[in-house]
Amino acid sequence: MITITVTSNSIEAKGHANYNEHGKDIICAAVSALMQTLELRGTATKQSGYMKVSTEDKEALKLIAEGLKQIADNYSEYVEVIE
């Protein structure tokens, strides 16, 4: 499962969805795409299975958080969002 933690100035994603094998997992790809988009507005810390993006751009943070919540709503077995 991917666990996403949203704070007032960052979003952290940990884990793997296990929806499909590595390299073919559409859930992981969707989360990664949104996190990488947010990285354009901030700074990121990345490791295998972990990414945290910090930003002062509240609008970008809110938009990406909403997108991640939509993924969690549609794939709750694979993604959880903690605020």
User: What per-residue confidence (pLDDT) applies to 23?
Assistant: 87
Specify the fold of 2-82: Alpha-Beta Plaits (3.30.70)
User: What per-residue confidence (pLDDT) applies to 33?
Assistant: 97
**pTM for this prediction:** 0.94
User: What per-residue confidence (pLDDT) applies to 35?
Assistant: 98
Query: What's the chain look like in SS3?
Result: CEEEEECCCEEEEEECCCCCCCCCCHHHHHHHHHHHHHHCCCEEEEECCEEEEECCCHHHHHHHHHHHHHHHHHCCCCEEEEC
User: What per-residue confidence (pLDDT) applies to 45?
Assistant: 95
User: What per-residue confidence (pLDDT) applies to 18?
Assistant: 94
Return averaged pLDDT per consecutive 10 residues of the chain, 83 residues in all: 98 96 93 97 94 97 98 98 97
